[in-house]
Amino acid sequence: MCDSTAALLSMIAPLVTIYLGFPMLFLGFVGNLLTLLVFLSLETFRQSSCAFYLTMASFINTFHLFTGLLTFIVINGIGDSWLNASLIYCKFRQYFTQFLATQSNVRWYRFNNVKLARYIFLGLLLCLVFLLVPYLIFYNHIISASTGKVVCAITNAIFSKYNDFAQSLFVLIIIPMFIMTVFGLLAYRNVQNISYRTIPLVRRELEKQLTSMVLVQVFYNVPVMTPMLIATFYNGVAGSTLNACDRIKMGITINLCILWYYLFAVGAFYIYISVSKRFRQQLIYVLFNMLWEQFRRRFKHNLVEPQKQ
Domain segments of the chain: what residues?
A: 13-283
Q: What is the pLDDT of residue 104?
A: 53
SS3 206: helix
Q: What is the pLDDT of residue 54?
A: 82
User: What is the architecture, at CATH level 2, of domain 13-283?
Assistant: Up-down Bundle (1.20)
Q: What is the pLDDT of residue 194?
A: 57
Q: What is the pLDDT of residue 263?
A: 92
Rounded to a whole number, what is the distance in angstroms from the first to the last CA of the chain?
79
Q: What is the pLDDT of residue 23?
A: 95
Q: What is the pLDDT of residue 109?
A: 44
Q: What is the pLDDT of residue 266?
A: 93
Cα gap 87→104, rounded to integer Å: 26
- Give the bridge partners for 139, in sequence order: 154
Phi first, then psi: give them for residue 143, nearest 5 degrees.
Answer: -90, 120
SS3 150: strand
pTM for the full model? 0.75
Q: Are 39 and 278 in contact (CB under 8 A)?
A: no
Give the burial class of 19: count Cβ atoms within 10 A of its Cβ; 0-12 exposed, 13-18 middle, 19 or more buried.
Answer: exposed
3: CB partners within 8 A, 6+ apart: 245
Helices and strands counted in the chain (H then E)? 14, 2
Phi first, then psi: give them for residue 199, nearest 5 degrees.
Answer: -130, 160
Instruction: Render each residue's pLDDT in the chain as its tens digit; 309 residues.
Output: 566 777 777 788 889 899 999 999 999 999 999 999 999 888 888 777 777 778 888 888 898 898 888 888 988 888 776 667 666 767 666 666 665 565 555 444 444 455 666 666 677 667 666 767 787 888 888 887 766 777 777 888 888 777 766 666 666 677 666 666 666 666 666 656 655 555 566 667 777 788 788 888 888 888 898 888 888 888 877 777 878 778 888 888 888 998 998 998 899 999 999 998 889 999 999 988 877 777 777 766 666 555 555
Q: What is the pLDDT of residue 191?
A: 58
Q: What is the pLDDT of residue 37?
A: 92
Cα gap 125→116, rounded to integer Å: 14
SS3 243: coil
Q: What is the pLDDT of residue 33?
A: 94
Q: What is the pLDDT of residue 171?
A: 66
The amino acid at 161: K
Q: What is the pLDDT of residue 107?
A: 46
